[in-house]
Structure 1
């Protein structure tokens, strides 16, 4: 039997101007941080076989995106706009289903983009791009008060 889970029930919270975590409404997709370890060139004049050598560098957690049903003027619209214009990192929490419980990802991020799409014959949506700022914590402990 497969242990595949669907994303139904997932949630996303971003800190508001008062640092209170606020749930983002009408989320339709969430990407998680994608940690990549940088490689640092360690080659020297006597490197064996004239080949580049590397040592592990810092971990970069990359960018993440999430999609929402866009509702102009909503609390979510206002929160994302203020976070983008404020230019400061915000705390973020993502909850994803993991069997009978959830896994929580906590990190700081900078809102980089807020792309809205208004089609003539479909729902209005928006894609928000965030730059992960620092380390990511994953746990089964709920950091959000529902």
Structure 2
């Protein structure tokens, strides 16, 4: 049975041991990292058609979070700080899964931060991060 995404959370890690994640407020949208794999063209002159070889490494794409923006508040500052660092940081996403919660933790490098202040709608901020390595997922 399908479920809705209401209740999704996004957190930014503090780099501590143990890691503590600061939850980002007013999340309105979240795109989870996708999966992709590069292909190598191994077609040769005796091939009857194109031939491909899959690379063994999986690439986890981008995670994109959109929030209601309140300039100068804690969420705004946390997104600015996350983007300001060129280093990978740990991020945490929680997703309601019926009576359980799926938790995804991953290292990622921030690649984009966009802020919008339209005249006739709420202000928003969108943070894009590129996953590095493989996420861990826990259902509890």
TM range (shorter): 0.7 to 0.9
Matched positions, count: 137
Alignment match, 1:75: 74
Shift of 1:45: 4.8
Give the unaligned 5+ runs of structure 2: none
Alignment match, 2:14: 16
- Partner-residue secondary structure (3-state), 1:135: strand
Determine if contact 2:92/2:105 at 8 Å carries over to the other structure. Answer: yes
The separation in 2 between residues aligned to 1:27 and 1:120, in whole angstroms, is 20
Determine if contact 2:109/2:130 at 8 Å carries over to the other structure. Answer: yes
Alignment match, 1:35: 35
Determine if contact 1:93/1:107 at 8 Å carries over to the other structure. Answer: yes
TM-score, normalising length from structure 2? 0.88
Alignment match, 2:59: 60
Shift of 1:61: 1.0
Alignment match, 2:132: 133
Give the unaligned 5+ runs of structure 1: 142-146
TM-score, normalising length from structure 1? 0.84
Alignment match, 1:144: none
